[in-house]
Copies of this chain bind each other. A is one copy, B any other.
Amino acid sequence: MSLKTVGVIGGMGPAATVDFMDRLLKATKAPTEQDNLRLLVDCNPHVPDRNHLQPDGPQPGPVLAQMARGLERSGADFVVMACNTAHAYEGEIRAALTVPFVSLIAETAAMLKARHPQVKRAGLLAASGCLDARLYQDALAKNEVETLTLDAEGLQRFMTLLYEIKRGDLSDAARAEMRALADLLIAAGAELVIAGCTEVPLVLAQPDIAKPLLDTMAVLVERTLAYARDGEALPAA
């Protein structure tokens, strides 16, 4: 048995990182403590906010690159990041690493194609920074899948809700609002909804909506296990 050590760029937000670790632990179903994966986690909530950047202010890229370097230096065999929006800085992270970076965006796009090949229009619940960087729109377009996003009013509601979740609001009202936003995408023609922000699944689950939910956090858990435990070949560094 040769388990790989997983570096985790986290803290965006910290609840999403804890959720990732918790789900990974439960999915591992290790017969003994020692059969679990070793995780090196930099849970850093002080990364500049990806959705409210000042042009002259601190930028997330250099901070994320430094975190990635630290994880590699500490022994990570590959690095993942438990935040969709921060993948806008994937280039800077990769440039800082000599070990592979497993992209949540690329893995989600690949899983959408493999598991839901009939889907031609995917609804996307994601933060403004993620939408602006066109992470999913461009990745899905390569597979000839159209990305449906919320309109300006819907996005404003989503962002308000997102920051309430980041403050710890996992209430029924928060759940109802996320479900209403997912329903807007379905009404617009989405054949599947991508929970494209790691805070979304904290308040939205498959039973809540009438179309398939593609939970990017679940993708990250499944793919991390495949690479770290099951010996699947990693993408190139």
Q: Which of B3, B12, B40, B166 has a CB less than 8 Å from the CB of A42? A: B40
Contacts of A118 on B, CB cut-off 8 Å? Answer: none
Number of copies: 2
Interface residues of A in 69-106 (CB under 8 A from B): 70, 73-75
Is the pair B15, A25 in contact by a Cβ cutoff of 8 Å? yes
Tell me if A57 counts as interface (CB < 8 A to partner B): no
Q: A34-B49, A38-B11 are in contact. Are A168 and B18 (CB under 8 A)?
A: no
Asked whether B36 lies within 8 Å of A39 as measured between CB atoms, the reply is: no
* Nearest B residue to A16, CB-CB: B33
A12 in contact with B39 (CB, 8 Å) = no
Which residues in chain A, 48-77, are within 8 Å of chain B measured between CB atoms? 49, 70, 73-75
Q: Mark A203-236, 1 if CB is under 8 A from B, else 0.
A: 0000000000000000000000000000000000
Expressed in whole angstroms, the Cα–Cα distance for A163 and B73 within the complex equals 33
CA distance A74 to B31 in the complex (A): 31
Q: In the assembled complex, how far is the CB of residue A167 from the closest CB belonging to chain B, in whole angstroms?
A: 7
A22 at the interface (CB under 8 A from B): yes
Give per-residue flags for A19-40: 1 if the beta carbon is below 8 A from chain B beta carbons, else 0: 0011001100111111111111
Whether A21 and B43, one on each chain, are in contact in the complex, defined by CB atoms closer than 8 angstroms, is yes
Structural contact, A45 and B21, CB atoms closer than 8 A:
no
| A33–B12 touching, CB < 8 Å | yes
Contacting A37 at CB < 8 Å: which of B15, B45, B163?
Answer: B45
Contact B49 A43 (CB under 8 A): no
Least Cβ distance of A96 to chain B in Å? Answer: 14
Give Cα A41 to B18, complex, Å: 11
- A: residues with CB less than 8 A from B are 3, 11-15, 17-18, 21-22, 25-26, 29-46, 49, 70, 73-75, 163, 166-168
Q: List 21 A-B contacts (CB under 8 A).
A: A11-B38, A11-B39, A12-B33, A13-B36, A14-B25, A14-B39, A18-B18, A18-B21, A18-B25, A26-B168, A29-B168, A32-B167, A34-B46, A37-B45, A39-B41, A39-B43, A40-B41, A40-B43, A41-B43, A70-B75, A73-B74
